[in-house]
């Protein structure tokens, strides 16, 4: 099992991520807590980029539960059809919008249980909404945070809930609000799944991962293309 980091190392780990990016933000585009909730629900098993592509034009005119219900499931499905699992997601978004109107005065509840009762909203989505819209120090464990926490020895766990509970215990209070974004961005752009960019990683000396990469991956396809281009020129 990976050796855990010490308290001093954890402090150092987050202070370096903070130095790199003092005010991290979600990469999902949204206008208000409602559009954030919809965007996060649509992002399950999809990239933020693909969600933004569909929601940026949608949210220009549809940014409240009432407007979403008026749009209707069929038109919503058409607007988000580039996002994976869009039919089920459109159904959930219409259903959750109706519940927000009927039970919560058209507002997004600042309450974990109420959020998790909404169709298509699980613990991860509730954590993101509580963190980003309401400033609560929650940590939503997605695939990136799960990987980074296990590799580095920060908070190893067999499943997302174990990792979330581990992180909540060890992340110093001063870093809790933004820990979620720092870890996601680190996993998305540096500690990537297949070949982590260890040589350029700011926490390399603190990280416990035993298979750190020694050199940055060479982009073979581009190399081949340039060679082919040279041959053609000759």
Closer Cβ to ligand SF4, 125 or 150, answer by number: 150
Choice from 139, 184, 185, 201 touching ligand SF4 (CB under 6 A):
201
Instruction: Please state the separation of Cα 230 from the chain's center in Å.
Output: 41
Give percent helix, percent strand, percent coil of the chain, each to the nearest 5: 60, 0, 40
Residues labelled catalytic:
124, 142
Write down the H helix ranges in 133-159. Answer: 143-152
Applying CB under 6 A, the site for ligand SF4 has a residue count of 13
Q: How far apart are CA 10 and CA 5, in angstroms?
A: 6
140-169: contacts with ligand SF4 (CB under 6 A)? 151-152
- Count of residues in the chain: 234
Choice from 203, 216, 225, 232 touching ligand SF4 (CB under 6 A):
203
- Smallest distance from the beta carbon of 231 to ligand SF4, in angstroms? 36
165-194: contacts with ligand SF4 (CB under 6 A)? 190-191
Choice from 212, 217, 223, 225 touching ligand SF4 (CB under 6 A):
212
- If you write DSSP's letter for every residue of 31-97 in order, what string do you get? SSHHHHHHHHHHTTTS-HHHHHHHHHHHHHH--SHHHHHHH-HHHHHHHTTTSTTHHHHHHHHHHHH
Per-residue x/- mask for ligand SF4, residues 87 to 126, rule CB under 6 A?
Answer: ----------------------------------------
- Smallest distance from the beta carbon of 206 to ligand SF4, in angstroms? 8
Closer Cβ to ligand SF4, 71 or 185, answer by number: 185
Comparing C-alpha atoms, which of 224, 218, 219, 199 is closest to residue 209?
199
Residue span binding ligand SF4 (CB under 6 A) among the ranges 24-32, 81-89, 132-140, 205-213: 205-213
Q: How far apart are CA 185 and CA 130, in angstroms?
A: 19
Residue span binding ligand SF4 (CB under 6 A) among the ranges 50-58, 71-79, 197-205, 215-223: 197-205
Q: How far apart are CA 47 and CA 85, in angstroms?
A: 12
- Smallest distance from the beta carbon of 8 to ligand SF4, in angstroms? 17
Choice from 101, 168, 177, 197 touching ligand SF4 (CB under 6 A):
197
What SS3 state is found at 133? coil
Helix pair angle (123-132, 173-189), 10° resolution = 120
Binding site for ligand SF4 (CB under 6 A): 151-152, 190-191, 196-198, 201, 203-204, 207, 209, 212
């Amino acid at each position: 099992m990976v050796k855990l980091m010490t308290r001093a190392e954890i402090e150092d780990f987050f202070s370096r991520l903070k130095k790199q990016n003092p005010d991290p933000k979600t990469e999902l585009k949204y206008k208000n807590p409602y559009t954030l909730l919809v965007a996060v629900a649509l992002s399950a098993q999809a990239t933020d980029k693909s969600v933004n592509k569909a929601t940026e034009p949608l949210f220009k005119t549809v940014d409240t539960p009432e407007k979403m219900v008026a749009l209707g499931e069929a038109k919503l499905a058409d607007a988000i059809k580039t996002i994976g699992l869009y039919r089920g997601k459109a159904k959930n978004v219409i259903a959750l919008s109706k519940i927000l109107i009927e039970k919560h005065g058209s507002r997004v509840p600042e309450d974990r249980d109420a959020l998790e009762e909404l169709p298509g909203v699980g613990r991860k989505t509730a954590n993101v909404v509580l963190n980003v819209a309401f400033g609560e120090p929650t940590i939503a464990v997605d695939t990136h945070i799960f990987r980074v926490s296990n590799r580095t020895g920060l908070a190893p766990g067999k499943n997302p809930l174990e990792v979330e509970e581990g992180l909540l215990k060890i992340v110093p209070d001063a870093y809790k609000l933004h820990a979620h974004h720092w870890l996601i961005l680190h996993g998305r752009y540096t500690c990537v799944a297949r070949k982590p960019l260890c040589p350029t990683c700011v926490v390399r000396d603190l990280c416990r991962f035993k298979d750190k990469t020694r050199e940055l991956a060479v982009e073979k396809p581009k190399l081949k293309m340039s060679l082919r281009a040279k041959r053609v020129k000759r």
